[in-house]
Amino acid sequence: MPADVSAIDTSGSDRQSGTTVQSVDRALQILELIGQAGSAGVSELALQLGVHKSTVSRLIGSLEARGFVEQVPGGRGYRIGFTVVRLAGTTAAKLDLNKYGQDVCNQVAADTGETTNLAVLNGDQAINVVEALGTAGVALHTWIGQATPAHTTSSGKVLLASLTAAQLRDLLPERLASYTANTVTDRKELLDELALVTERGWAVADEELEVGMVAIAVPVRDHTGGVIAALSISGPRYRLDPADAPTIAASLADAVAELSAKFGYTGP
């Protein structure tokens, strides 16, 4: 016979859930207190929260392991860690990409006649966050907000090329999904191409996501020199010849230099 659902005791599960929520809330309070004070020790935090020092030590240990807090050099207190800074910087960068990127995309689209996009990496997908439609006779459909397999697009290749070898091995399977006859499906072959992308500073996708479509992309960098986005133009192959990619990429690099400068990049 089926069990009487009303008779099932879920109190243990409820208590566990309540304890977890309480721990999360206390961890967030610790971050807020450290952020307000600049730095704080375990005893000080325990006093302010009204809990035992062992509770704070346990939560601090978890936060430190994730990089949300770090020990103050030469001291016994804790300060906000790099993970918080990185997350805040990533959010600000995405907001600024929308703010500053539209003008650059508009100008590139007007100059080239081709659809122009800014994309960011999300896992193994490239997501277009800014777009300006081309003025040429045949315009491609809008890509704004769409996620595309990074290994099939010029933007995605630029973004993947910014990752470490270990990150790429963890992220990409040995056999990649195929979308056209030109899609690179072998991970080693893709890694070799990404090394070339890093060396020359641009990427091209020649009918690798859609038959007849070519795209060329260059990186957008921040004050650390890290790649935060990729700017690309895309169009039909009869207008965008892959053989012209080096010349087109040089023109895009000039255009994107202004955008990178807004994020503090001072390199060449």
Give the pLDDT of residue 5: 42
Q: Are 57 and 49 in contact (CB under 8 A)?
A: no
Give yes or no for residue 11 having a pLDDT over 80.
no
Give yes or no: residues 106 and 196 share one domain: yes
Give yes or no: residues 157 and 227 share one domain: yes
- Residue 127's H or E segment, with its range, is strand 125-132
Give yes or no: residues 161 and 43 share one domain: no
Give the pLDDT of residue 87: 64
Give yes or no: residues 253 and 124 share one domain: yes
Which of 85-89, 112-116, 241-245 comes out lowest in average pLDDT?
85-89
Give yes or no: residues 127 and 254 share one domain: yes
Give the pLDDT of residue 198: 96
Give yes or no: residues 145 and 68 share one domain: no
Give yes or no: residues 34 and 97 share one domain: no
Give the pLDDT of residue 187: 95
Q: Are 105 and 117 in contact (CB under 8 A)?
A: yes
13-62 per-position pLDDT tens digit: 555 566 778 888 898 899 889 888 888 899 999 999 999 989 999 998 99
Q: How many domains does the chain have?
A: 2
Say how many C-beta atoms besides its own lie within 10 A of residue 147's C-beta: 15
* Strand partners for 216: 204, 233
162-185 per-position pLDDT tens digit: 999 999 999 999 999 999 999 999
Which residue, 85, 105, 125, sits at the end of a domain? 85
Give yes or no: residues 74 and 111 share one domain: no
Say how many C-beta atoms besides its own lie within 10 A of residue 256's C-beta: 23
Domain containing residue 195:
90-261
Query: Is 9 within a domain?
Result: no
**Mean pLDDT to the nearest integer, 78-101:** 68
Give yes or no: residues 27 and 53 share one domain: yes
108-123 per-position pLDDT tens digit: 999 999 999 999 998 9
Give yes or no: residues 124 and 253 share one domain: yes
Give the pLDDT of residue 1: 43
Give yes or no: residues 151 and 255 share one domain: yes
Q: CA 122 to CA 137: how far, in whole Å?
A: 32
- Check which CATH number belongs to the domain holding 182 and give it: 3.30.450.40
Local confidence band at 2 (pLDDT 50, 70, 90 cut-offs) = very low
